[in-house]
A and B are shown apart, each in its own frame.
Chain A
Amino acid sequence: NAGVTQTPKFQVLKTGQSMTLQCAQDMNHEYMSWYRQDPGMGLRLIHYSVGAGITDQGEVPNGYNVSRSTTEDFPLRLLSAAPSQTSVYFCASSYSYGRGVGGSPLHFGNGTRLTVT
């Protein structure tokens, strides 16, 4: 299993440009999510999905769009990039959110480092 795969690893955008960060998992996980990691802010949830066709907002959704047409893929779209979106983005998935004894820990991708100038 490749686990959670994110592409690209690095990206530089100019203000106003749009792009899509790709995330794919091959573990048949129901739950997928996007986080951004900023110094001193920890990991903040952008959007998440509990299954194909179902998405919802996290703490910091503004400026981002997601869709979940398949179980495997959960792309994150930046509609019009802004310098405030300079960050490291992580995709994470888990087998089955919250169900069963012990919870279901997240599996993370390697991250995408995005710089917006």
Chain B
Amino acid sequence: AQKVTQAQTEISVVEKEDVTLDCVYETRDTTYYLFWYKQPPSGELVFLIRRNSFDEQNEISGRYSWNFQKSTSSFNFTITASQVVDSAVYFCALNMDSNYQLIWGAGTKLIIKP
């Protein structure tokens, strides 16, 4: 069965702190794709990153970085020097070639206090 687990329901930090959002996935497929999306209060899901299962290279984009580890089935997301505008709900999702749907984690609500 395919599954995505985001164990952290809510995280609250003070601005400028670093924060890591955890994502653990389950799939028997050897080829799969992992995604992170951000959902601000407006409701629209905003795409952040896609990672293919055969590419374990970590990625950095400005203050955002992603750590993909197949050995632990994790795809964690770190925000460095957080800002109030980073406050949102963040979702991790999984897709496979054998499927045509995104399988979602429950989301982590991130609150950045000024």
Q: Please determine whether chains A and B interact with each other in the same assembly.
A: no
Q: Which residues of B contact A (CB under 8 A)?
A: none
